[in-house]
Structure 1
Amino acid sequence: MVVYRFLATPRWLGYAALTLAAATVMVLLGLWQLDRYDQRAEINARIDAGTSATPVPLTDVVGAPRAGAGTVGPEPAEHSEWTRVTVTGTYDPAHEILVRGRTVEGAVGFEVLTPLVLRDGTAVLVDRGWVRPASSGALTAPDVPAAPSGTVTVAGRLRPSESRGGRPQEVAGHAEIRRITPAAIAPTVPYALFDAYVSSDEPAAGFTAVPAEKQNALQNAGYVLQWWLFAAMTLYGFGYLARREAIGPRPENLLDEELDEEEEPVHNAPL
């Protein structure tokens, strides 16, 4: 009969505690990756839905600013990102900004950000699309198609403010930024801004559409399986070692030991 009384010894209790602790940590890491998978899958679902959904008015999705020039409105809800919206106003090319260091199809260039002033005097930043840098180098302004004049209606995807953005800086006769942060841009324009921006669905000629970057949810799903497999292997390993300890040495090993004990060294007889 196999006896497991040795599991109550301090040494094996320590092994068991360490095994359970390690397996618990691995299970929790798997749950964390599962949560990340759900979040990324939800974002991807919103991106897919936004490609064909009927656009809704911008003010139905995010609150308009009301405090006056140089301020921003309320932050949009997290689930509103990638919602297709429509907004009508007049472009203000005098306060157009180039967003540097943006990559589209493997090439680094600029996204063109132009304020669209609404009838009530507030404005929303519109990402009109991506352009390549000037062939003469970074110190030369790229070729940016002029914004249309008069009243226009823009349809596009709602994007939230990016973090750690700074004020626009003058470079080669045009304003540049690294990140699109309306709160940092608002003090440089004569109107209040929405705390979000609109990425145009249909860029004009001369622009390249900025694609929606989907999240790699499958990577997180793989991590879930990996951590939970490690947890199962850890528990199996403890059970395997405990079983080996309970069974003891294998019979063939015992037979080898007995034969080794019975064998005596052979000495040459003296002449």
Structure 2
Amino acid sequence: MYRFLLTPRWWGINLFVALSIPFCLLMGTWQLGRFEARVDEQREQGSSSRVHAAARPLGEMLPVSKETNGKPARVTGTYDRERQLLVPDRTVDDREGFYVLTLLRDRAADGRALPVVRGWLPGTPDPDRVPPPPKGTVTVTGALQASESASTPGANAHGGLPRGQLGVISAASLVNLVPYQVHDAWITQQRTTAPMKPVPPARAHNTGLDLKAFQNLGYTAEWFVFAGFVLFMWFRLFRREVEVARDLSLGLHHEPPESAPSEEEPPRAGDTAPAQPSAEEAEHPPAHPPART
């Protein structure tokens, strides 16, 4: 009954199925691995392990990228104690408050300044509540952050703030406030002076689960569906062939009946076709003999 499996047609079908299913499973597994890698990368971007990793010199981590954002950076210099700024409308632990930002003159960058967020305090900005920055040369370690933009939560890019306050932490917003150049980055200290609280580092832009991650997940489902479809079609063809073989073994398979003969049958062999009159006879037909009485 299963001898049809040895036919060249079924050899080709079986070979196609044997190659297609492992290929679909392999591609589906690869796409699933790509999705899991993006998920792990997104988790690693938001984990605290980046903050507690070994600090690297600031010069080795600039410009800020997805790989360096949130990682600890180390810089040595002196604080500009005369130009301390407060950043209002900032939320930490679901409480409204303000950042305390002090510019650190980077000794390794010829005096270029690095904005350092030394901590956060609740309530409205008040310079009298802010602890003074350390004097002299200090080495500061903090989570590296990219410059803010108008879309950053809490940022105020419209201006109109009182003197001594800053709406957006960026080199562009500081260029008119200080007489020296500023790094296009900032750091947030994770070890602060009481009563200030550390500001959690923000995640880099476009590091969450984007459309590509869900595309990988969709491709995973498609490849597994393809594998199931190939197996389903093979089983369907196999069952059909088995039914046909069973019918033949039981004599249930009949040849289609012969078509009924047409009304005008063709002349048989040996029959003489009636003679056709010539053109002259057609023009001058012979006279009929008179009928006998």
Q: What is the TM-score with the length of structure 1 in the denominator?
A: 0.58
Paired position in structure 1 for 2:102 = 114
Paired position in structure 1 for 2:279 = none
The 2-side partners of 1:167 and 1:221 are apart by 32
The 2-side partners of 1:195 and 1:116 are apart by 13
Conserved? CA contact 2:104–2:115, under 8 Å: yes
The 2-side partners of 1:112 and 1:250 are apart by 81
Paired position in structure 2 for 1:132 = 122
**Percent identity, aligned pairs only?**
18
Aligned-residue CA RMSD (Å): 4.8
1:235 equivalent to 2:227? Answer yes
The 2-side partners of 1:206 and 1:154 are apart by 21
Change (3 A) 1:86 1:243: same
Paired position in structure 2 for 1:265 = none
Paired position in structure 2 for 1:266 = none
1:247 equivalent to 2:249? Answer no
Change (3 A) 1:37 1:163: same
Paired position in structure 2 for 1:48 = 49
The 2-side partners of 1:103 and 1:208 are apart by 11
The 1-side partners of 2:112 and 2:157 are apart by 19
> In structure 1, what residue type is equivalent to 2:145?
P
How far did 1:129 drift?
1.3
Paired position in structure 2 for 1:176 = 166
Conserved? CA contact 2:143–2:189, under 8 Å: no
Paired position in structure 2 for 1:94 = 83
Paired position in structure 2 for 1:14 = none
Higher strand content, 1 or 2:
1
Paired position in structure 2 for 1:58 = 58
The 1-side partners of 2:64 and 2:237 are apart by 61
Residue aligned with 1:207, SS = coil
Higher-RCO chain (CA-CA 8 Å, sequence separation at least 6): 1
How far did 1:154 drift?
4.5
The 1-side partners of 2:65 and 2:144 are apart by 11
The 1-side partners of 2:100 and 2:53 are apart by 24
Higher helix content, 1 or 2:
1
Equivalent positions of 1:1-271 (< 5 A) are 1=2, 30=32, 32-37=34-39, 39-40=41-42, 43=45, 47-48=48-49, 50-51=51-52, 53=54, 55-59=55-59, 61-62=60-61, 75-76=63-64, 79-81=67-69, 82-94=71-83, 96-98=85-87, 100=89, 102-118=90-106, 120-134=110-124, 141-142=125-126, 144-148=129-133, 150-151=135-136, 153-162=138-147, 164-165=149-150, 169-178=159-168, 180-212=169-201, 228=220, 231-248=223-240
Conserved? CA contact 2:44–2:50, under 8 Å: no
Paired position in structure 2 for 1:260 = none
The 2-side partners of 1:196 and 1:155 are apart by 14
> In structure 1, what residue type is equivalent to 2:170?
T
The 2-side partners of 1:175 and 1:246 are apart by 78
Q: What is the TM-score with the length of structure 2 in the denominator?
A: 0.55
Change (3 A) 1:250 1:106: farther
Residues paired across the two proteins, number? 221
Change (3 A) 1:153 1:26: same
Conserved? CA contact 2:145–2:188, under 8 Å: no
**Structure 1: which 5+ residue stretches go unaligned?**
9-18, 63-73, 135-140, 252-271
